[in-house]
Amino acid sequence: MENYDIEPYNESKNNYEREEAYLRAKKRVKKIVGFYWHLFWYVAVNSFLVYIISRNLNGEDFWSIRVFSTPIFWGIGLLFHFMSVFGPNLIFSKAWEKRKIDELLDKEAQQNKWD
């Protein structure tokens, strides 16, 4: 039997981290696509419903809760879906964290300059 000079594969940790990052990104993209499909169906279905309901009002006021109840309540659900997908990074993103850290470091440096 021959002996082979095989070098160990040292990049396994790097590949594992890259695969984890890929899976996180894939999951995030799936959430974003899910939100946009939800938004599409919200607009399509509610446009149709408002049109149908408004055609059958028989003299009632168009701006009543009866006409817009489905879009209002579904819109609340859509808002929660938006916040679950984009909310965590909307307000406190990595860029915001970096700016805030830099700001606090600069502030502390200014205070220590005068001591």
Q: How confident is the model at residue 12 (pLDDT cuts 50, 70, 90)?
A: low
Q: How confident is the model at residue 56 (pLDDT cuts 50, 70, 90)?
A: confident
**Would you say 70 and 44 are in contact if contact means Cβ atoms under 8 Å apart?**
no
User: What value does the mean pLDDT of the chain take?
Assistant: 83
Q: How confident is the model at residue 11 (pLDDT cuts 50, 70, 90)?
A: low
CA distance 89 to 67: 35
Lowest mean pLDDT among 20-24, 64-68, 73-77: 64-68
**Token pair of 99, please?**
């700016």
**Would you say 77 and 56 are in contact if contact means Cβ atoms under 8 Å apart?**
no
Can you give the pTM of this predicted structure?
0.65
DSSP letter at 39 equals H
pLDDT, residue 112, reads 74
Residues in the chain: 115
